[in-house]
């Protein structure tokens, strides 16, 4: 075991990097270069630290590990409480892994306010890791909502032309959700407490209250996910965000909604989850079909991938709310896989965007001739997104659908059409960008991947393959926690078989 | 050895793909060819061991588990190689044909700029196909299944500067995905019913489930029928059965060696393999078998009608492939699994021969594929000409060629089934046999005989193909002549080698019954074959104005056949256009409905968007932070209030 507070270190190390960056003095160019370096080294070190965490993680245990608990606001019973289990562990790793990649991807493309950019990313990392480690509802709330602040800034300051509109839309959506979630947290804090494991273990919330609490949390998580029909902020946010912003948005931020469902909605309000599960599953099915069809007619590369993200998140919510082992594990794996694949796809868009400064699909074509390496990497990622067996995209999708089939065959049939539609839009995108005649001279003159681009795309591509061929390394560590989650869920349903009746009686 | 046999092509692929530039074209050709030839030799060794080995000499099937793929709850999926009789026969067919195609490609693609990539893809395909046939569970089978699909996609679109090739490759992938949609659901259903996806476990449980029902899509249905039909949907996609066949003719956009290997000999037969592999389940789902029979029979017939009217030499052979796959399926449907695999093997030889022969013709005629621009070239390329005759005679089912044995067996089995659908398939097959012979003759006479219709420049360039292309053809020709005779006893005769790998209920044993059908049933296919060839000669060599007259007399019929029964146009109208329309509509909905009710509407009603936006940049983040802080303050004060007054928590509730 590790005898130092590794989770706090992981969470706050980026802030030390921020302090260093603030201390840098000198001429502008020098400052920028040093800011880049400091940020990169900090995040790299953080990643290594997280690998150390992974190595020391006991994969056979379902309990929270590396827990830290410090009295924080004793008068209010608030604690600074951190810990990871199999479910949150890999989200932490995903965050620490993607952040340095984002910085590499911004190495040359960000030219204005470099120092501030690096600071924003480091702060963002702190909040992301904090979200996944927090074991106290208030602490979670602070991290969960704070994430958006650096994200707004990244989109607003370094984004595209209509970035103001985009971040405003993003803001309006998330605002409502977060207010409602806060009310939920207050209620929980008063009746039970703020310690997440305690709330989960406590089964005393009556059904009618569960319904309201579930809805309050749902408002926040559904927007983050995003689920249909509250997804419309995502395409705009992606289109306007700088490449690295999109990477973090798709790679980590979208996973916070799913993580919220796993940590709050399902274990804390099992009866309400059971009650709402059919609705969620149908919404997921609609999301899969609806957004896939929308993706099919997009002319903007980033919008297309953004819509595909909504469809992929549809598989996640579908899987999670089946509450079968396959469904939940599939949902979690799909989130991790999507975190890698969509991040890499946005990086791929960034590669050509940096050269031609347009995301319009029709401005490209025939890139395979002048950018064969790019074409190969893109091909692999495209196949991963399509869910080809042997890539990470397959395992999650397959398991989630398998879980759905056990609960409701009709839903499974409709959701499985997503594998056809998903292939359609990705293949069409690939064909229009990479294959065909070279009709645009400037696109035909673009150079192939640079060493820098190579350095971050190839690891991502290899992980997509690795997780596709040997996913058990991850799955085996996730599994005990999922079993525990399902156990708690079922206990919650069985423990108070009459609470539904009571609730109904009370309502009468 | 089993591992090497399967993974040698993968090594070839990786080397040629990653280091193709460094090792040069020669190097890439060397590594890929050696990879597949090693696999072929090892497969033959395994063939002997598995078929004739074992203590009793009746076979020594084996399964090698490589590693865990993934586990989730009770679902456990391994990477494993299951080398039993059925698998080893498939391995031999795949690796031998693939070796021939690899070598042939060295010559055929000699003018192409991307030889290394081409060879690499061929090896990738072979690897995926080997993983498919040696899979030990449904999920690994799905891996191979989709893997061959991707290889096919890459190879159809190999000339990726051609728009038509790109369109064809996407079409192939998507139509196959529609089939895979069924296959995936079939796997889910199998797991739902049996709690496993491993073959042995599934097959052991299948008999008990024979009476079980399940609710599927809101209907209470016979469970095994549901599973089998869903799996069969996958088979229909991959094997281009009617309804999901539209990709196969278009797939001819790919280089000809690809058509020979993937779209004739191996990949398209994966569906046949799947049903044969799942025979212990299909046997308990008679309704599913009936559907398989009918679909197979109709496909055999329809494809043959289209084949008679096409002018592109490769498309004629493509429709012929589809038709022959129809034969294999109705053989499966009447439980004559052995006969189906037998035809699969003989077909692999003669169809690969025909395709590669056609490639040799195309090569000689400077890439001309239209038979209307050929003719009168048989003297200039005699070897190719002879080989094409061998392939066509085998296809037409002329006695003592390979196709004769297997096709007869299938028709006799269908007859021996004595069910209405068996009879239906039998007569469909008889009609298709006549047409098969007819279009084979048509192809030969139009291509090689008559007056030369190519331009003088092309005619001057005509040359026989180099030995590197002709030798593989001769190997295949050997198979096309002798495979039927040599395989008859062990596939469908009295000394069958299947062991446990195929299951036939005693009541369904049509292969045995087929040996006792009336004489006219045995002779009818031969008569049809010879008659068809004769008619072809009359129409396309003797009285060459007859086809024009015939197509005038049967104008509507000819239009139907020539336009491929209008499937493409129909699908375009039913599926593709609506999908795009819905996509556009939903996109507009996102903008006009969701947003105007949501964020935009809120903004308009409160401040007016413009004012709001202009103030945004400076203010919003801080407003957000402010709201959050406000919330927190509220939260903290609430707590404080609570603790200060010492309110009873439970009481407050």
B22 — pLDDT class (breaks 50, 70, 90): confident
Residue with the larger pLDDT of the pair A6 and B642: A6
The answer on pLDDT for A235 being more than 90 is no
Q: How far does B217 lie from chain A, in Å, by closest CA?
A: 4
Distances (CA, A) of B113 to A366, A467, B24, B584: 16, 34, 11, 40
DSSP state of A62: -
Query: What pLDDT does residue A158 have?
Result: 85
The answer on pLDDT for A494 being more than 90 is no
- What mean pLDDT comes out for the span A182-211? 87
Which tokens is A362 given?
């029709």
**Digit-coded pLDDT (tens) for B108-118:** 988 888 899 99
Query: What pLDDT does residue B631 have?
Result: 64
The answer on pLDDT for B615 being more than 60 is no
Are A256 and A147 a contacting pair, CB within 8 Å? Answer: yes
A-facing residues of B in 188-247 (CB < 8 A) are 188-189, 191-192, 214-218
Query: What pLDDT does residue A149 have?
Result: 84
Asked if the Cβ–Cβ distance from B635 to A175 is below 8 Å, we say no
The answer on pLDDT for A504 being more than 80 is no
For A394, the 3-state DSSP assignment is: helix
For B647, the closest chain A residue by CA position comes to A190
Query: What pLDDT does residue B365 have?
Result: 86
Asked if the Cβ–Cβ distance from A165 to B613 is below 8 Å, we say yes
Q: Does B181 touch chain A (CB under 8 A)?
A: yes
B304 — pLDDT class (breaks 50, 70, 90): very high
Q: How far does B470 lie from chain A, in Å, by closest CA?
A: 33
Distances (CA, A) of A420 to A296, A361, A416, A427, B251: 12, 21, 8, 11, 19
Asked if the Cβ–Cβ distance from A427 to B174 is below 8 Å, we say yes
Which tokens is A60 given?
């056979």
* C-alpha span between A271 and A278 (Å, rounded): 13
Which tokens is A477 given?
């560590």
Are B395 and B320 a contacting pair, CB within 8 Å? Answer: yes
Query: What pLDDT does residue B234 have?
Result: 94
B580 — pLDDT class (breaks 50, 70, 90): confident
B600 — pLDDT class (breaks 50, 70, 90): low
* C-alpha span between B342 and B402 (Å, rounded): 10
From chain B, the residues in CB contact with A419 under 8 A are 177, 180-181, 184
* β partners of residue A69: A81
**Digit-coded pLDDT (tens) for A59-72:** 888 889 998 888 88
From chain A, the residues in CB contact with B613 under 8 A are 164-165, 168
For A162, the closest chain B residue by CA position comes to B613
Which tokens is B322 given?
């589809």
**Digit-coded pLDDT (tens) for B168-179:** 999 999 999 999
Asked if the Cβ–Cβ distance from B620 to A388 is below 8 Å, we say no
**Digit-coded pLDDT (tens) for B488-542:** 888 888 888 888 888 888 888 888 888 888 999 989 999 999 999 999 998 888 8
**Digit-coded pLDDT (tens) for B327-356:** 999 999 999 999 999 999 999 999 999 999
Which tokens is B622 given?
């801080």
* C-alpha span between A255 and A249 (Å, rounded): 9
* β partners of residue B64: B81
Asked if the Cβ–Cβ distance from A424 to B632 is below 8 Å, we say no
The answer on pLDDT for B43 being more than 90 is yes
* C-alpha span between B560 and B308 (Å, rounded): 12
Q: Which of A328-332, A370-374, B649-653 has the lowest mean pLDDT?
A: B649-653
The answer on pLDDT for A331 being more than 90 is yes
The answer on pLDDT for B82 being more than 50 is yes
From chain A, the residues in CB contact with B185 under 8 A are 405, 412-413, 416
Q: Does A462 touch chain B (CB under 8 A)?
A: no
Pseudo-torsion of CA A210, A216, A217, A219, nearest 10°? 140
B644 — pLDDT class (breaks 50, 70, 90): very low
* Size of chain B, expressed as the number of residues it contains: 653
- What mean pLDDT comes out for the span B80-89? 93
Asked if the Cβ–Cβ distance from B598 to A230 is below 8 Å, we say yes
Query: What pLDDT does residue B180 have?
Result: 94
From chain A, the residues in CB contact with B216 under 8 A are 409
Asked if the Cβ–Cβ distance from B580 to A296 is below 8 Å, we say yes
The answer on pLDDT for B128 being more than 90 is yes
Q: How far does B594 lie from chain A, in Å, by closest CA?
A: 7
The answer on pLDDT for B605 being more than 70 is no
B431 — pLDDT class (breaks 50, 70, 90): very high
Query: What pLDDT does residue B594 have?
Result: 66
B68 — pLDDT class (breaks 50, 70, 90): very high
* A366, A388, A420 member nearest B161 (Cβ): A366
User: Exposed (0-12), middle (13-18) or buried (19+): which is B449, by Cβ within 10 Å?
Assistant: middle
From chain A, the residues in CB contact with B616 under 8 A are 156, 164, 167-168
Q: How far does B401 lie from chain A, in Å, by closest CA?
A: 40
Q: Which of B624, B644, B650 to mutate to test the interface with A (most CBs of A within 10 A)?
A: B624
Distances (CA, A) of B592 to A295, A306, B564, B588: 17, 19, 42, 6
Which tokens is B132 given?
């498919």
Query: What pLDDT does residue A176 have?
Result: 74
Are B362 and B317 a contacting pair, CB within 8 Å? Answer: no
A-facing residues of B in 620-649 (CB < 8 A) are 620-621, 624-625, 627-628, 631-632, 634-636, 638-640, 642-643, 649
Which tokens is A271 given?
């009866």
Q: Please, what is the average pLDDT of chain B?
A: 87
Q: Does B613 touch chain A (CB under 8 A)?
A: yes
- What mean pLDDT comes out for the span B278-304? 94
Q: Which of A123, A131, A226, A232 to mutate to test the interface with B (most CBs of B within 10 A)?
A: A232
From chain B, the residues in CB contact with A291 under 8 A are 586
- What mean pLDDT comes out for the span A316-328? 94
Query: What pLDDT does residue A376 have?
Result: 93
- Strands B213-216 and B219-222, how do they pair? antiparallel
From chain A, the residues in CB contact with B75 under 8 A are 325-326, 399, 402
Q: Which of A5-14, A115-124, B58-67, B145-154 has the lowest mean pLDDT?
A: B58-67
User: Percent of chain B scored above 90 by pLDDT?
Assistant: 57
DSSP string, B434-496: HHHHHHHHHHHHHHHSSS--S-HHHHHH--PPPHHHHHHHHHHHHHHHHHHHHHHHHHHSSS-
DSSP E strands, B173-284: 213-216, 219-222
* C-alpha span between B392 and B389 (Å, rounded): 5
Q: Which of B13, B19, B67, B73 to mutate to test the interface with A (most CBs of A within 10 A)?
A: B73
Query: What pLDDT does residue B497 have?
Result: 85
The answer on pLDDT for B209 being more than 80 is yes
Query: What pLDDT does residue B544 have?
Result: 82
């Amino acid at each position: 075991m590790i005898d130092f507070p590794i989770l706090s270190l992981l969470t706050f190390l980026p802030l030390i990097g921020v302090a260093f960056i603030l201390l840098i003095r000198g001429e502008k160019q020098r400052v920028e270069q040093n800011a880049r370096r400091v940020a990169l080294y900090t995040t790299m070190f953080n990643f290594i630290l997280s690998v150390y965490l992974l190595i020391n993680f006991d994969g056979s245990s379902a309990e929270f590990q590396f827990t830290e608990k410090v009295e924080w606001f004793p008068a209010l019973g608030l604690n600074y409480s951190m810990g990871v289990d199999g479910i949150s562990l890999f989200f932490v790793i995903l965050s620490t892994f993607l952040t340095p990649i984002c910085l590499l991807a911004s190495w040359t493309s960000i030219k204005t306010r470099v120092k501030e950019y690096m600071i924003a990313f480091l702060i963002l990392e702190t909040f992301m890791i904090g979200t996944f480690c927090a074991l106290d509802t208030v602490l979670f709330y602070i991290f969960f909502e704070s994430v958006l602040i650096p994200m707004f800034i990244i989109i607003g300051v370094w984004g595209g032309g209509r970035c103001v509109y985009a971040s405003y839309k993003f803001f309006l959506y998330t605002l409502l959700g977060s207010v409602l979630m806060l009310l939920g947290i207050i209620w929980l804090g008063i009746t039970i407490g703020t310690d997440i494991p305690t709330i989960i273990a406590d089964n005393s919330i009556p059904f009618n209250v569960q319904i309201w609490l579930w809805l309050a949390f749902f408002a926040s998580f559904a927007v983050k996910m995003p689920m249909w029909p509250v997804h419309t902020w995502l395409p705009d946010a992606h289109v306007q965000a700088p490449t690295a912003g999109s990477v973090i948005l798709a790679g980590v931020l979208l996973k916070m909604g799913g993580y919220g469902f796993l940590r709050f909605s399902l274990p804390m309000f099992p009866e309400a989850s059971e009650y709402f599960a059919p609705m969620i599953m149908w919404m997921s099915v609609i999301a899969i079909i609806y957004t896939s069809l929308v993706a099919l007619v997009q002319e903007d590369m980033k919008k297309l991938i953004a819509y595909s993200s909504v469809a992929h998140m549809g598989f996640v919510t579908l899987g999670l709310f089946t509450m079968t082992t396959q469904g939940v594990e599939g949902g979690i794996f799909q989130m991790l896989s999507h975190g890698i694949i969509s991040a890499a796809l946005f990086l791929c868009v960034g590669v050509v965007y940096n050269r031609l400064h347009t995301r319009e699909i029709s401005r490209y074509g025939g890139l395979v001739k002048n950018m064969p390496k790019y074409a190969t990497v893109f091909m692999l990622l495209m196949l991963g997104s399509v869910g080809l067996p042997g890539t990470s995209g397959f395992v999650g999708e397959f398991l989630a659908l398998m879980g759905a089939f056990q609960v409701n065959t009709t839903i499974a049939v409709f959701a499985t059409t997503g594998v056809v539609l998903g292939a359609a839009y990705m293949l069409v995108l690939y064909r229009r960008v990479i294959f065909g005649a070279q009709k645009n001279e400037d696109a035909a003159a673009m150079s192939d991947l640079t060493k820098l681009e190579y350095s971050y795309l190839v690891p991502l591509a290899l992980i997509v393959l690795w997780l596709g061929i040997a996913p058990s390394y991850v799955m085996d560590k996730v599994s005990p926690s999922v079993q525990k989650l399902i156990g708690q869920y079922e206990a919650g349903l069985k423990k108070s078989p009459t609470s539904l009746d009571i609730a109904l009686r009370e309502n009468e | 050895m089993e591992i090497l046999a399967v993974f040698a092509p993968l090594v070839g692929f990786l080397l040629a793909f990653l280091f193709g530039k460094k090792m040069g074209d020669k190097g890439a050709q060397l590594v890929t060819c050696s990879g597949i030839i090693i696999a072929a030799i090892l497969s033959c060794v395994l063939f002997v061991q598995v078929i004739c080995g074992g203590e009793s000499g009746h076979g020594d099937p084996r399964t090698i588990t490589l590693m865990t793929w993934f586990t989730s709850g009770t679902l456990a999926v391994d990477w494993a190689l299951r080398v039993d009789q059925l698998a080893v026969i498939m391995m031999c067919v795949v690796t031998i044909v693939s070796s021939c195609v690899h070598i042939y490609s060295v010559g055929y693609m000699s003018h192409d700029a991307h030889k290394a990539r081409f060879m690499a893809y061929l090896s990738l395909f072979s690897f995926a196909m080997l993983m498919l046939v040696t899979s030990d569970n449904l999920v690994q089978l799905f891996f191979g299944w989709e893997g061959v699909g991707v290889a096919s996609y890459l190879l159809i679109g190999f000339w990726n500067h051609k728009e038509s090739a790109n369109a064809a490759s996407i079409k192939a992938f998507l139509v196959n995905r529609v089939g895979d949609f069924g296959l995936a659901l079939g796997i889910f259903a199998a797991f739902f019913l049996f709690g496993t996806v491993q073959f042995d476990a599934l097959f052991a449980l299948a008999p008990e489930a024979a009476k079980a029902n399940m609710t599927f899509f809101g209907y209470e249905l016979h469970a095994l029928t549901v599973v089998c039909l869903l799996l069969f949907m996958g088979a229909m996609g991959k094997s281009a059965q009617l309804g999901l066949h539209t990709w196969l003719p278009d797939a001819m956009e790919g280089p000809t060696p690809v058509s020979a290997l993937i779209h004739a000999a191996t990949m398209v037969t994966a569906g046949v393999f799947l049903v044969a592999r799942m025979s212990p389940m299909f046997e308990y789902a008679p309704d599913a078998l009936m559907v398989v029979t009918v679909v197979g029979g109709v496909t055999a017939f329809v494809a043959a009608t289209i084949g008679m009217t096409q002018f592109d030499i490769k498309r004629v052979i493509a429709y012929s492939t589809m038709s022959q796959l129809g034969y294999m399926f109705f053989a499966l449907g009447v439980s004559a699994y052995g006969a189906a695999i037998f035809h699969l093997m003989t077909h692999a030889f003669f169809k690969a021969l025909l395709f590669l022969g056609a490639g040799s013709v195309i090569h000689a005629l400077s890439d001309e594929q239209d038979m209307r621009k050929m003719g009168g070239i048989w003297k200039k390329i005699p070897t190719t000409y002879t080989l094409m005759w061998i392939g066509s005679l085998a296809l037409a089912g002329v006695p003592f060629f390979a196709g004769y044995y297997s096709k007869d067996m299938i028709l006799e089995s269908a007859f021996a089934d004595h069910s209405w659908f068996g009879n239906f398939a039998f007569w469909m097959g008889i009609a298709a046999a006549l047409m098969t012979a007819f279009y084979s003759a048509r192809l030969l006479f139009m291509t090689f005989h008559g007056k030369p219709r190519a331009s003088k420049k092309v005619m001057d360039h005509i040359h026989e193909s180099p030995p590197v292309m002709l030798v593989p053809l001769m190997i295949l020709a050997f198979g096309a002549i002798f495979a039927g005779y040599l395989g008859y006893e062990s596939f469908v005769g009295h000394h069958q080698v299947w062991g446990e790998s195929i299951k036939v209920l005693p009541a369904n044993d049509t292969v045995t019954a087929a040996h006792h059908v009336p004489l006219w049933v045995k002779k009818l296919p031969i008569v049809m074959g010879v008659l068809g060839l004769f008619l072809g000669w009359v129409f396309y060599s003797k009285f060459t104005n007859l086809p024009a007259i015939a197509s005038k007399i049967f104008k509507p019929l000819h239009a139907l056949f020539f336009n491929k029964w209008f499937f493409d146009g129909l699908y375009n109208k039913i599926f593709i256009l609506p999908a795009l329309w819905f996509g556009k509509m939903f996109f507009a909905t996102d903008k006009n409905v969701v947003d105007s009710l949501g964020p935009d509407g809120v903004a308009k009603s409160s401040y007016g968007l413009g004012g709001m936006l202009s103030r945004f940049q400076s203010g919003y983040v801080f407003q957000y932070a402010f709201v959050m802080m406000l919330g927190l303050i509220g939260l903290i004060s609430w707590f404080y209030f609570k603790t200060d007054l010492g309110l009873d928590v439970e009481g407050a509730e």
